[in-house]
């Protein structure tokens, strides 16, 4: 059975043939409908091939968007999680497929180095590999490739997990700067975290030639790092080393590991690549460790709990006090300050000064542009905010923070299709981002994409459960999980989770707001939703108020006099624009 199915409209047959040939050259088995057997019906064969495919490449064009066959094939692939999209004439995929990344192959001449093709090639390889149990192992390209598995935390302290994860991510980043080496993305590699690893199975699954695994043990000011590079076809060790050093040598160890891998693979490291690998942003091991700790709290902390922001700000201030030249710490400090202002109404700082400091130190820090974009947006300068986000995305399209901020700004503008695309990218990068799954469900609901809502809800529950297994007191995770349960029709269980969350964190207004949305839309209880909103609207920040003005989850409440009065009072208190009354249906 084929590994890759190619779907296209007849007018782009030449482009489809070019894509199929390029995929075959990489070792993939490819099928398209020019290979229909004469003795079987068209629909029977198509259905069989679609179900067997590990990846379905849909080639969008103006004609393809009108083709019921192409749309049906794309819908099957989307439901199975095998969809890879490319546009050959600049056409944007139709709803709901425009919510998923689409590679740009307009004018593609077969160049494998073209960004659009690299996106297609990488997605196909990842999908075929990820479905090895169904469709066989991924085919390896002739180029050397490596997966950096998350290094095991051997410190005997779960709180040190952020440090071993940071080491793994930095080595992945270093190796990705080597042009002659393909490196599996961090988010794919981290799906193996905590599993009993069969290195040969990982190599087959991902289609890589080599796997790097290791461990980190940190005790006081000493660190031990072990690493081994393993041949993915034989299981043999190509290189292995153990480093027992002072913590102050952490950057030297990372450099040595990356360069040893390059040497073991007999690759040539170009001068610019060597220079890029050696840039750490700080020379202070202590500041670096603090930054890793702060970012871990930022990513995994209790969303909507002000203590998360306050903790991150304290740690980052300590990091920049140790090294005032540490741009990334300044940027994270700025992000937390902006959120403290707009999500909690604290008027001290908005992060602008810190973001500008970060960019003065390193113009390539995409996350600093997010803070500038948010401040522009909150002050009503929407077009400028959009441009700032475009800059951030161009600098680092794979940044979790950048995709989250892009999604937030687009959602607030009611541009749900685009917002969904960036929320989806955020959860692709950090799957455990339960809050982004919740926002994705809201965006899909507004778009009428019921399959997307269900998929997001399932992840709202599963990812919340993962967090709650480690921290049962995380009320935000309880809140998002409750929303997912309500969407999935598990009403009684949803109500139990809501009650538990409100007992644990009764002052979390963001959580109460989300509960109101869930209660209004999925529990069909508008009065209960307004009861939940009442304390929120009495304290609501200008940012959340403006979100409430456009939030589709609250549309069912807008004609209710009590809700209208509460919103009007909030607007008066904030000095903000009054809500627009809902349109009165025309008489018939």
Contacts made by residues 231-238, CB under 8 angstroms, sequence distance 24+: 232/140, 232/199, 232/200, 232/202, 232/203, 232/204, 232/208, 233/200, 233/203, 233/209, 235/199, 235/200, 238/210, 238/264, 238/265
Model pLDDT for residues 192-237, shown as the tens digit of each residue: 887 777 888 888 888 889 999 999 998 888 999 999 999 988 888 8
* Interatomic CA distance for residues 365 and 62, integer angstroms: 37
Half-sphere exposure of 405 (CA within 13 A, CB side): 33
b/e map 219-236, b = 16+ CB within 10 Å? eeeebbbbbbbbebeeee
Q: Where are the domain boundaries for CATH 3.40.50.10070 in the chain?
A: 145-280
pLDDT of residue 588 exceeding 50: no
Model pLDDT for residues 439-491, shown as the tens digit of each residue: 999 899 888 888 889 999 999 999 899 888 878 888 888 889 999 999 999 99
Average pLDDT, the chain: 86
Instruction: Classify domain 145-280 by CATH number.
Output: 3.40.50.10070
pLDDT band at 1 (very low <50, low <70, confident <90, very high): very low
CATH class of 4-135: alpha beta
Q: Is 583 left (phi over 0), alpha (psi -120 to 50) or beta?
A: beta
Model pLDDT for residues 144-185, shown as the tens digit of each residue: 889 999 999 988 777 788 888 888 988 988 888 888 888 888
Q: Where are the domain boundaries for CATH 3.40.50.10140 in the chain?
A: 4-135
């Amino acid at each position: 059975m084929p590994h890759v199915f190619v779907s296209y409209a007849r007018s782009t047959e030449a482009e489809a043939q070019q894509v199929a040939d390029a995929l075959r050259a990489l070792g993939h088995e490819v099928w398209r409908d020019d290979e229909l057997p004469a003795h079987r019906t068209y629909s029977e064969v198509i259905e069989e091939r679609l179900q067997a495919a590990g990846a379905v490449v849909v080639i969008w064009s103006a004609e393809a968007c009108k083709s019921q066959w192409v749309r049906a094939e794309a819908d099957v692939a989307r439901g199975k999680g095998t969809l890879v999209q490319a546009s050959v004439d600049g056409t944007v995929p139709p709803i709901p497929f425009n919510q998923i990344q689409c590679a740009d192959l307009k004018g593609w001449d077969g160049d494998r180095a073209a960004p659009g093709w690299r996106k297609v090639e990488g997605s196909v390889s990842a999908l075929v590999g990820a479905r090895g149990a169904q469709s066989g192992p991924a085919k390896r390209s002739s180029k050397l490739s490596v997966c950096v598995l998350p290094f095991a935390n051997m410190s005997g302290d779960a709180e040190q997990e952020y440090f071993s994860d940071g080491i793994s991510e930095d080595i992945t980043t270093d190796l990705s700067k080597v042009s002659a080496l393909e490196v599996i993305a961090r988010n794919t590699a981290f799906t193996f975290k905590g599993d009993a690893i069969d290195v040969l199975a990982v190599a087959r699954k991902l289609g890589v030639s080599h796997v790097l695994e290791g461990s980190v043990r940190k005790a006081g000011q000493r660190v031990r790092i072990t690493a081994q590079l393993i041949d993915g076809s034989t299981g043999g060790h190509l290189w292995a080393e153990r480093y027992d050093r002072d913590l102050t040598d952490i950057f030297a160890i990372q450099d040595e590991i990356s360069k040893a891998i390059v040497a073991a693979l007999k690759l040539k490291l170009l001068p610019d690549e060597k220079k890029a690998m050696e840039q750490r942003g700080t020379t202070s091991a202590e500041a670096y460790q603090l930054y890793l700790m702060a970012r871990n709290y930022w990513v995994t902390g209790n969303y909507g709990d002000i203590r998360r922001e306050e903790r991150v700000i304290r740690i980052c201030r300590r990091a920049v006090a140790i090294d005032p030249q540490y741009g990334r710490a300044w940027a994270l400090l700025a992000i937390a300050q902006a959120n403290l202002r707009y999500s909690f109404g604290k008027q001290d700082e908005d992060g602008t000064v810190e973001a500008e400091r970060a960019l003065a130190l390193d113009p390539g820090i995409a996350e600093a542009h997010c803070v500038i974009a948010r401040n522009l947006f909150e002050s009503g300068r929407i077009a400028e905010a959009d441009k700032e986000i475009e800059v951030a995305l161009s600098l680092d399209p794979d940044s979790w923070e950048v995709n989250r901020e892009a999604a937030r700004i687009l959602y607030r503008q009611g541009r749900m299709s685009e917002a969904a695309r960036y929320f989806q990218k955020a959860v692709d990068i950090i799957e455990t981002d339960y809050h982004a799954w919740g926002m994705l469900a809201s965006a899909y609901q507004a778009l009428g994409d019921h399959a997307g809502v269900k998929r997001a809800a399932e992840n709202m529950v599963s990812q919340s459960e993962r967090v709650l297994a480690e921290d049962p007191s995380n009320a935000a995770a309880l809140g998002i999980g409750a929303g997912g349960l309500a969407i999935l029709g598990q009403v009684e269980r949803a109500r139990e989770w809501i009650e538990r969350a409100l007992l644990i964190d009764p002052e979390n207004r963001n959580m109460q707001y989300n509960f109101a949305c869930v209660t209004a839309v999925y529990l069909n209880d508008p009065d209960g939703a307004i009861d939940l909103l009442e304390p929120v609207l009495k304290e609501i920040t200008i940012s959340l108020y403006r979100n409430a003005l456009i939030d589709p989850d609250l549309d069912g409440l807008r004609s209710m006099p009590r809700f209208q009065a509460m919103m009007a009072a909030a607007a008066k208190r904030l000095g903000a624009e009054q809500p627009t009354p809902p349109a009165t249906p025309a008489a018939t």
